[in-house]
Amino acid sequence: MRTLDGVRSLQYFNLLRFGATLLAGVVLAKSGLPPAQIALYEGWLFFGNLFTFYWVIGGQNAVLQLFPGLEPVRRAPFFQAVWLSWLAFSGGVALLLWLQGEALVDRFTRFDRLPALGWLALFVWWQTPSWLVQAWYLLHARYRSLLAFAVASFGLQVVCVALPLWTGAGLEGIFRALVLLAFAKMCWSAWLVFGRQPWRPWWGGARRWAWAALPLMAHVLVGQSVDFIDGLIVSSQMEERWFAIFRYGARELPLSLLLVGAVVTGFIPLVAGQ
């Protein structure tokens, strides 16, 4: 049996994440909901990701780049400062969605309304810091824990879609369930970062992280924004039901990209540590 290493654990992580997204889509498609209702679910997640994808990926890669070169005594304070920075930044995005969400939806889509914008704001605020769990487990060589977290997290994601549909709670129930899951994941990430360490954030490390992350964020924004631009074009020019058809029709099976992406991400801390 092959030994589980960082690259292989990330490959499994990416496959589980995509599999959960695909399975949730199948559950929705088979639920009997009309395409317009499914479009609201897809639009809800789309808008949450639209404002966070570039700095989540870029910021995570900056953590993987800087952490191996730090003195051991600096590593825990560095992670604490970065986690708090993520929480503050995602809180700013959440506030924007809370105050201007309806205006943004009116400006960029033809949806009559996007429901549960308050829940979306909470989802973005709590979900974003939880992505640091992946980096924490990888950098501490906790590969089996990373895989266990992926199974639990993405498995519960499917449950958060299927259970409300089965009980008749509808889209509102799905949104609430996803927000609760995001809160639980945020609490878990906070426990990993703060639970067994004294409170001593290293803000100088957070500044180093920010400077390292800015070009990486810009790179991701330019390189991966095409998917979101396509979505904005469809949502702004066509009726909302077509957005669901577009999202499901454009959902490929990029297995090779997922595996190669995990290799690239897994090698960042290895190269940085040399």
Q: How many residues does the chain have?
A: 274
Higher pLDDT, 15 or 3: 15
pLDDT beyond 50 at 217: yes
CB distance 41 to 120 below 8 Å: no
pLDDT 10s digits, 131-187: 999 999 999 989 999 999 999 999 999 999 999 999 988 899 999 999 999 999 999
- Give the DSSP letter string of 6-72: HHHHHHHHHHHHHHHHHHHHHHHHTTT--HHHHHHHHHHHHHHHHTTHHHHHHHHHHHHHHGGGS-H
Question: Would you say residue 248 has pLDDT above 70?
Answer: no
What is this structure's pTM? 0.88
Considering only CA atoms, give the Rg of the chain.
Answer: 19
- With b meaning 16 or more CB within 10 Å and e meaning fewer, what string describes 32-52? ebebebbbbbbbbbbbbbbbb
Instruction: Give the residue from 1, 14, 9, 8 showing the smallest Cα distance to 154.
Output: 14
Short-list 118, 87, 90, CA closest to 102: 118
